[in-house]
Amino acid sequence: MNFKLLLIASCCIILSACGVEKQILEDILIAEIVGYDDAGEDKIKGTVVVSVPQPGEEADLGKEVYEAISHDINATRQQENAKTPFPIVGGRLTVILYGDELARRGLNDYVDTYRRDPMVGRDLFLAIVDGKAEDVVRMEPKMVRTPGVQVKELIEQNMRTNLTDVDLHKYLYASHGNGIDPVMPLLEKADDQIIVKGIALFKRDQYIGKYIPYEDGFLFKILSENFKLGSYEIKWKENDYTTIDNVESRVRYRITNANRNPKARIEVELKANLLEVQGFDLNKPVDVNKIEAKAERILGKKLNEMVTMFQRYNIDPLALGDHAKSKTRNFNRKHWEEVYPHIPIEVDLNIEMIQTGISE
């Protein structure tokens, strides 16, 4: 008898819970992507796409766009809610976009709000838009899927090849840390498409207006992390190009004498496929060795130029300062920051062609 009563009570609780959940989903609007832009006079403009329940059990969720202008994100959210029949919640928020003008002002105030929001997961992506974030958010009517899903998938698939692993958690670590500066994907609207333009560079939480072009994102990736996949087109000479496919790349940082006269050495090992090249016989080891040496010179020069550019703008997206701190007892952060733009940094690239294909 007691067992039957317990079973009935449990069923009632489960059914009640289901009813509550259904009621909750019907009475909220779910934010999927949000963008923020500089609106002048120390104000920001927020634009959000939300899922709207439609009549009928089989009906798809509709999409609506709301916007508001205020001095901070919380006030912007309140003004957006003032225009909606139900409250907007961020449980499914996948991407936050920032217009480039706002990003130049500094983003921590606009990111920390989401760090403190328990409804938002830390695995959401952050990105800069070359232009206005609103323009990307408002592309919803032209897309089959929501912009949030599309941009999320766009970033995720390019993280395998030309973008570093970026999300809210990694941005917070880099922007609040010492000896490291964050990066973000740089997107742009091109006609009716959203494309990755490159990797936006930051000094702490401020976008410096410079970026790594998309095609060179592969080079930044082999400098900053171990990974597989990706490819890079090498220009041998005028009208002569060859593409190498990354099988595996590994990077190591060696920093010496960090508290006095620092020196840094970045060692990159790249195992690659080479499918086609003119003027070489890929069946001859001596020709393969020549190709490897030539590729090392060309790519090595580009890698060293990239590192020099980081020093010129006094930014540290490779986290060399963070690495130096982890390897140096009583690390002198102030001294490191003073000398970082001028320390000798050498990139040593070793390429091994492990598979070769067609020769001409």
* pLDDT value of position 13: 43
The domain ranges of the chain are 27-214, 226-360
- The more confidently predicted of residues 140 and 328 is 328
Which structure tokens are listed for 262?
């620092």
Residue 265's SS3 state is strand
What is the rounded distance in angstroms from the CA atom of residue 196 to the CA atom of residue 71?
Answer: 29
Helix (H) or strand (E) holding 324: helix 320-327
What is the rounded distance in angstroms from the CA atom of residue 122 to the CA atom of residue 357?
Answer: 43
pLDDT in tens, 66-85: 888 888 776 566 666 666 65
Pairing between strand 29-40 and 43-52? antiparallel
Mean pLDDT of the chain: 83
- Alpha-helical (H) ranges within the chain are 2-26, 73-81, 100-105, 108-115, 133-137, 147-158, 168-176, 217-224, 285-312, 320-327, 333-339
Contacts of 166 (CB under 8 A, 6+ apart): 125, 126, 127, 155, 159, 183, 184, 185
Pairing between strand 62-70 and 88-89? unpaired
Name the residue among 238, 254, 224, 348 with its Cα closest to residue 297.
Answer: 348
The CATH number, out of the four listed (3.40.640.10, 3.40.50.720, 3.30.300.210, 3.20.20.70), of the domain defined by the range 226-360: 3.30.300.210
pLDDT in tens, 170-206: 999 999 999 999 999 999 998 888 999 999 999 999 9
pLDDT in tens, 116-139: 777 776 678 999 999 999 999 888
